[in-house]
Chains A and B, each alone.
Chain A
Amino acid sequence: MNTKVLVAGGLITVPLVVVLAIGFQHDPRQIDSPLVGKPAPGFALTPVDGGATVALTELRGKPVVINFWATWCVPCKQEHPALVQVARLFEDEVSFVGVVYQDEPAKIERWLGQYGSAYPTVVDEGSRAAIAYGVYGVPETFVVDAAGTIVHKYTGPVDPNDLVARLDQMVAR
């Protein structure tokens, strides 16, 4: 038995395997938004069905869930029913806003007709809101507390259980 080989081999490889194993516990795509903990950027956008402008300032006093999405985005279809369910669950305590990003009103209306809706959907003309929120890709969802501070960001489809737990806590407070 050549112990030198054994020791050298162990010293090189064991840390490598340990580091790779730890690497599993992190999602490399999770990009923490620098906006968490900061005031939510304001916006005033027109709903897709016309009607009065929806402004973030008018929603103060209640937690707000802002969901950036688009009709051309596949994961958005996947998360949409869950969002609608959660929105109904917190109908009186939490406001939900869907912000559609780089899309056409006709397509949005068709999409909502097909997949249902439970809260206002606004059109982000010129992607101004998306830029203000640093949207990296859709879907992204921001949870804003009653004081107007961003408390959480979901990248990719929302985990409905996590969202419900989070909102429960915020509403109880």
Chain B
Amino acid sequence: MNAELGFGLILVGLLCSVAGAFAGFAAGRTGSEEGWRWTRRLALGFSVAMLLANGVMEYALLTHDFSLKYVAQVGSLASPTYITIVSLWSSLEGSILFWGAVLAIYVIGALVANGTRNTDSMPYAVASWMVVAAFFCFLMAGPANPFWPGPDPVPSDGPGPNALLQNHYLMIVHPPTLYLGYVGMTIPFGLAVAALMRGTLGPGQLALLRTSLLVPWGFLTVGIVLGGWWAYEVLGWGGYWAWDPVENASLLPWLTATAALHAAMLPGRRGTMKGWTTTLVLATFLLTLLGTFMTRSGVFNSVHAFSQSDIGPTFLVFIAICLVWSIVLLALRVDRIEGEGRVTAAIGRESSFLLNNLLFVALTFTVLLGTVFPLLAEAIKGVKVSVGEPYFNRMAVPMGVAILFLMGVGPALPWGQPSAERVRTALIPPVVAAVVTVGVGTLFGVRTPWPVASLFGAGFAGWVTLAALLDIARSGTASRQLRRIGGYVIHGGIIVMIVAIAMSSAFRADEEIRLKTGETVEFAGYSLHYDGPDKVVEPHRQSLVARVSATKDGETVELRPALVSYPSMQQPIGSPDVHSTLTHDLYLSLMQQDPATSTAGIHAFHNPLVIWLWIGCGIAALGTLLTLTPAPRASPAVAPATETAAPAAT
């Protein structure tokens, strides 16, 4: 019953999206009111069908309907209810179904947010969303059908979802957050396509484009960091980022989306960079497709590529179609939407925006090249190579530091063509702040070049950000400038994160320790005492725990790193335990436990400042919320009023 109902809803979704795509393009061409009304109805039809189909799958999961292949694959009577609920996105078919639900929510949200405006361009945008929707419905109706009937006879129980996904509560929030980031990029993509189809990108469209980029950008930011946090808390190698292909895949669209968000601020003020902004938006969407492809096709070997499947070729064809469509559309129309204004070459805020965009794009290419290089080497020379961390660190660290520095330079400089005198007075206080920060850092032992450079950048950008926030606060118009405040708060969060990344990777200490019950060892200022083993049995898993008391300055905490076995997994997985403080984390990972000799092998890490990575991300998320507050009337983002007048003449 669930199978027929769910599959029927997918067919309804497919039908609505295909018809909606045709109706939208037709309505865009003819400008027909009736056509536009039908386009909206069909888009809503798709959305409702997707949400209901997800409801059916959740119902099947919760009632353990093992007659569905998907439920038989990921369900288990022993799994706790919350695990059963999130099993929806624990495997390929379910995650594509969930993709449909997320797109449905975005489509409804975008239609509501747009209301009755932009009637000339919106049909094209909705049509583009429906093309993407149709592709995913096609996947669900064919190669990745989540409602495929299961084995006969119907099994009485299933293995439960992938053990790595069950091991930590972050796994409940990380995938949907990332999905909200990925899928949401479909909306700005549609708006960019519409702008190119119409040959215009007006203020109303720009405002919608900005909002539609910001929402998924915020989710993507949080999703990436949650992924790092999950890796840190679950995988047990003491780090949060490994330049794994799938991690890179989530970083790539983030880089281009960040560039696009900054680029989009220029057309609103200057009428320039519209073609470039659209290009970045298109690239962002294409990179989210590439990211999904990397995770789901089995081309890359990665901890995340847990589902090898047959959808790879279909997906690659869709990516190719989208690429051709985007490039041809850009080539045909980019000259038409580009405004008359020119970016001045002077040292002003524009130039720092340009440099920022250049760096983000260079970083995108660097990461992309490093990610596909192993495939390239294999295709050409037939050897398996791994580019690995050294390449990425060597390339990305300087660019990251430069971006950090620009985060200070840009906002410090005024728009237009400031005099050399003004530039000097604007830059002196942050330089002093930067030097002081470096000085403080040296006192704490930061003396190697890149960490020092990042402290300099952080001090510089941090000063500018704080000064800008104080200026706004003093002006007494804070309540009317929430969006600007939001932008600076995001910068503040990112600065905190970059410092945390720089310090935790440069000053990490680790040691492999073997301890017998009752023994004590000194590590990074802690005395670690092994209290002995423990065993925890739960219905869906068994844990071998090492009880370790860590004492520092007379305070003792108990850590319980463990090895967890799931019936569906061959190897037990590590479950590290972390004692977090504001200055450092003590991180213990159990490597092995030998009951015969009552010894435990523990990998201990001392990671400075890691907690600030999560705090910085929270600050950035808060800032994103502020930037999404409704614009006050005559806000510069929507209507470039008085401020543009003078420099536009240059």
List residues of A whose CB falls within 8 A of some B CB. 1-3, 5-6, 9-10, 13, 16-17, 19-24, 26-29, 70, 72-74, 137-138
- State whether B327 touches A6 (Cβ < 8 A): yes
Closest residue on chain B to residue A70 by CB atoms: B570
Contacting pair B327 A13 (CB below 8 A): yes
How big is the B interface, by class? 20 to 34
Q: A3, B316: Cβ atoms under 8 Å?
A: no
Interface contacts beyond A22-B375, A27-B298: sample of 10 additional A-B pairs, CB < 8 Å, sorted by A: A5-B327, A5-B334, A9-B323, A19-B376, A20-B316, A20-B372, A22-B379, A24-B316, A26-B378, A29-B301
B460-471 near A? 1/0 per residue, CB < 8 Å: 000000000000
What residues of B have a CB within 8 angstroms of the CB of A19 in the complex?
Answer: 372, 375-376, 379
A-B contact pairs, 8 of them (CB 8 A): A2-B334, A13-B327, A17-B323, A19-B375, A19-B379, A20-B299, A74-B159, A137-B571
**What CA separation (Å) do A26 and B567 show in the bound complex?**
30
- Which listed residue (A24, A72, A138) contacts B313, Cβ 8 A? A24
CB of A28 within 8 A of CB of B300, answer: yes
Considering the chains assembled together, what is the distance between the CA atoms of A83 and B365 in angstroms? 48
Q: Mark B558-592, 1 if CB is under 8 A from A, else 0.
A: 00000000011011000000000000000000000
* Of B305, B335, B375, most A-chain CB atoms within 10 Å: B375
* Chain B minimum-CB-distance residue to A4: B331
Cβ of B320 within 8 Å of any chain A Cβ, yes or no, is yes
> In the complex, which residues of chain B have a beta carbon less than 8 angstroms from the beta carbon of A6?
327-328, 331
- Chain A residues, CB < 8 A from B301: 28-29
Does the CB pair B375–A23 fall under 8 Å? Answer: yes
**B638 contacts partner chain A, Cβ-Cβ < 8 Å:** no
Report the Cα distance A37→B316, complex, angstroms.
37
Q: How long is the Cα–Cα vector from A46 to B483 in the complex, in angstroms?
A: 73
Residues of the A chain whose Cβ atoms lie less than 8 Å from the Cβ of B550: none
Partner of B330, one of A2, A27, A137: A2
Docked complex Cα distance between A102 and B43 (Å): 55
B332 at the binding interface (Cβ < 8 Å) = yes
Q: Considering only CB atoms, which chain A residue lies closest to B567 in the complex?
A: A72
A1 B332 Cβ-Cβ under 8 A: yes
Residue in B159, B320, B568 with the greatest tally of chain A CB atoms within 10 Å = B320
- Segment 347-374 of B: residues with Cβ below 8 Å from A: 368, 372
A9 CB contacts on chain B under 8 angstroms: 323, 326-327, 330-331
Measured CB to CB, the closest approach of chain B to A48, in angstroms, equals 19
* Residue of B whose beta carbon sits closest to that of A30: B384
Sort A-B residue pairs by CB-CB distance and give the 3 closest, nearest first.
Answer: A28-B301, A9-B327, A6-B331
Are B331 and A28 within 8 A (Cβ)?
no
A28 and B334 form a contact (CB under 8 A): no
Q: Is the interface of B mostly helix, strand, loop or mixed?
A: helix
Q: Does B312 contact A (CB under 8 A)?
A: yes
A87-B190 Cα distance, complex, nearest whole Å: 59
B297, B300, B379 pick with most chain A CB within 10 angstroms: B379
**Contact in complex: B300, A138 (CB < 8 Å):** no
Judge whether B568 and A74 touch: CB under 8 Å.
yes
Nearest B-chain residue to A7, judged by Cβ: B331
Which residues of chain A have C-beta atoms less than 8 A from B320's C-beta? 17
Instruction: Say if the beta carbon of B207 comes within 8 Å of chain A.
Output: no
B12 at the interface (CB under 8 A from A): no
CA distance A9 to B332 in the complex (A): 12
| Closest Cβ–Cβ distance, residue B434 to chain A (whole Å) | 36
- Contact assessment for A24 and B299 in the assembled complex, using a CB-CB cutoff below 8 Å: yes
Known contacts A19-B375, A21-B316; is-contact A28 B298 (Cβ 8 Å): yes
Contact of A16 among B297, B312, B313, B372 (CB under 8 A): B372
B293 interface hit (Cβ, 8 Å): yes
| B327 adjacent to A72 (CB under 8 Å) | no
Chain B residues whose C-beta falls within 8 Å of the C-beta of A13 in the assembled complex: 323, 327
* B294-317 interface bits toward A, Cβ cutoff 8 Å, 1 = contact, 0 = none: 000111110001000000110010
Question: Contacting B299 at CB < 8 Å: which of A3, A23, A70, A138?
Answer: A23
Alpha-carbon distance between A10 and B330 when the two chains are bound, in angstroms: 12
Chain A residue nearest to B293 in the complex (CB):
A20
| B615: Cβ under 8 A from any A Cβ | no
Across-interface contacts of A74 in B (CB, < 8 A)? 159, 568
A68–B305 Cα distance when bound, in Å, is 25
State in angstroms the CA–CA spacing of A3 and B567 once bound together: 58
Tell whether B478 is near chain A: CB-to-CB under 8 Å: no
Interface string of B323-343 (1 = CB under 8 A from A): 100111011101100000000
Whether, in the assembled complex, B319 has its beta carbon less than 8 Å from a beta carbon of chain A, the answer is yes
A110 to chain B, nearest CB (A): 16
Q: What residues of A have a CB within 8 angstroms of the CB of B327 in the complex?
A: 5-6, 9-10, 13
Closest Cβ of chain A to B325, distance in Å, is 11
Given contacts A2-B334, A3-B331, A23-B378, whether A73 and B312 have CB atoms under 8 Å apart is no
Residues of A within 8 A of B378 (CB): 22-23, 26
Contacting residues, chain A, for B300 (C-beta < 8 A) = 23, 28
**What residue in chain A is nearest B335 (Cβ atoms)?**
A2
Q: Measured between alpha carbons, how far is A70 from B567 in the docked complex, in Å?
A: 13
- The docked-state distance in angstroms from the alpha carbon of A21 to that of B301 is 15
| Pair A17/B319 contact, Cβ less than 8 Å | yes
Which single residue of chain A is at the shortest CB-CB distance from B330?
A5
Q: Which residue of A lies closest to B159 (CB)?
A: A74
Measured in the bound complex, the distance between the Cα atoms of B323 and A2 in whole Å is: 16
> In the complex, what residue of chain A is closest to B315 when comparing beta carbons?
A20
The answer to whether B375 touches A20, judged by C-beta atoms less than 8 angstroms apart, is yes
Q: Is the pair A1, B299 in contact by a Cβ cutoff of 8 Å?
A: no
Give every chain B residue within 8 A of A23 (Cβ-Cβ). Answer: 299-300, 375, 378-379
CA–CA, A24 to B568, complex, Å? 27
Residues facing A in B221-274 (CB within 8 A) are: none
C-alpha gap A22/B320 in the complex (Å) = 14
Docked CA distance A74–B375 (Å): 30
Please measure, in the bound complex, the distance between the C-alpha atom of A10 and the C-alpha atom of B334, giving whole angstroms: 16
Kindly list chain B residues whose C-beta atoms are within 8 Å of the C-beta of A21: 316
Instruction: Please name all residues of chain B whose beta carbon is closer than 8 Å to the beta carbon of A1 when the two chains form the complex.
Output: 331-332
For A13, give the chain B residue with the smallest CB separation. B323
Q: Please name all residues of chain A whose beta carbon is closer than 8 Å to the beta carbon of B326 when the two chains form the complex.
A: 9
Chain A contacts for B332, CB-based, 8 A: 1-2
A123 CB to closest chain B CB (Å) equals 17
CB distance from A34 to the nearest CB of B (A): 13
Shortest Cβ distance from A11 into chain B, in angstroms? Answer: 10
Q: Across the interface, do B570 and A137 meet the contact criterion of CB distance under 8 Å?
A: yes
